[in-house]
Chain A
């Protein structure tokens, strides 16, 4: 059974899961209706599952890293066509490794820590573009 906790400071609803989430950090949206003695209260509030990104900045980073991985793999294949042992080839694959690891780190952080990496930054800077709550 999941419990809902209303965070009045940020105005978001956070759901505390008792089961672990899938490894896909993409958002899953759900609408929850608070039932009080059989009455239906309209929620218009959306609930973001913990373990997925909350802020726009994190969503942007995830997207950027995904695109970079694709792009850099293609680049590396091109560069290495000529000479696989060349410096350029080494560097190209090293870049692929770097962004792959960065993406994996972000994913791990979201899954294991179940907290958006921008959390503390956004507490201090809620008005920035990066700190808008992500909306699909």
Chain B
């Protein structure tokens, strides 16, 4: 089943890969024919005088695009690993390409780091006095064009931002995958990019937890001290609050990570309170719930059936509003110590989109060495991964049911 749509391409530039049908590097089921219309008019605003491209793609090759906003580096984060693992296969950097590539590719998914769309490299940012958080350091036009192209089945030559050298390296070819994940600081900043996303997630780490995590991350480094770690967070905060944080109101799911309430005065950041804030009414996404949808419940699983060690586990579920949107919030405070705790909790959650009983537990065990495997961060990241799989299957099955359409050039 094929759908053909015609585009005029007034912005034919080097990032757009249009080729004759003989070349097969474009991807799985793509065929493209480019018609050039001769016109005596040069330039101007005429999109009608530009070349016309008719793209035919098989119905189920439409790429599903997921956006993930996170301030924790790119493509190598635990969340990405859990997500790609749900779909099966390990995600690896493109073989034989630039060793400093940020991209991860598995059978079903490709994860792109949005730092690759920096318009200014490290030197450029220093000259202009802008941080990487600032929109002025990023090329949203290119981001939009390329994500749009990949979504419609066209491969693109995407730049590479090298985090070691701080330079922009020569581009790498990205072929349209079944699922494209764009991860970085600004996946929902630009409205056009936002509209391309089939699902979006925002990872919201509270200041206290961020501080604790960065201490764990950096204290072993020769150059760092408590003061330098603190100063770095403080200095980035204004830009973070101005440009990154406001994106969370657009997210379909927010994973909020806070200090635990089970241990008074705890600031180690080891025991965490994690809230999964799920927007209601999102297409192909039914929020996870405890006991009954729309009701409010507090639940402590530890008791007679289950013995937990200190500080235990506490759940909460209920409806709420978040930046003016109707949401459902599932919250977990505490830690899993044993396998049977995890299974017990899983058996009481509903709408988790597992394909078999114990799938969440299995996924968590598979990556027991990942950070967060014993608390809500790992649990909710895994669940979101399963919801995304469910979303993908719903979208692709509805696409193959779509009737054949043809549009005239």
A interface residues (Cβ-Cβ under 8 A, vs B):
20, 23, 57, 61, 64-66, 69-74, 76-77, 80, 84, 87-105, 108-109, 112, 117-118, 120-121, 123-125, 130
Contacts and interface: CB of A to CB of B under 8 A. Distances in A.
Interface in B352-386: 369-370
A87 B129 contact: yes
Interface of B: 72-73, 76, 81, 92-93, 95-97, 99, 122, 125-126, 129-133, 163-164, 166, 214, 217-218, 220-224, 228, 231-232, 234-236, 238-239, 369-370
B93 A117 contact: yes
B73 A104 contact: yes
B98 to A, nearest CB: 8
Given A20-B369, A100-B218, A93 B163 contact: no
Nearest to B98: A121
Contacts of B133: 94
A101 B126 contact: no
A94 B132 contact: yes
Nearest to B75: A105
7 contacts: A23-B220, A70-B221, A90-B235, A90-B236, A95-B126, A96-B228, A102-B73
A94 B236 contact: yes
Contacts of A20: 369
Contacts, number: 113
Given A70-B222, A91-B125, A96-B228, A120 B131 contact: no
B235 A80 contact: yes
B129 A91 contact: yes
Question: Taking chain A's interface residues, is the majority helix, strand, or loop, or is none over half, making it mixed?
Answer: helix
B122 A95 contact: yes
Question: Taking chain B's interface residues, is the majority helix, strand, or loop, or is none over half, making it mixed?
Answer: loop
Contacts of A97: 232, 236
Contacts of A69: 221-224
A87 B130 contact: yes
B224 A117 contact: no
A105 B235 contact: no
B130 A93 contact: no
Contacts of B132: 94, 98
Contacts of B164: 61, 64-65, 102
A105 B222 contact: no
Nearest to B72: A101
Contact of A108 (B76, B231, B234): B76
A118 B100 CA distance: 9
A64 B166 CA distance: 12
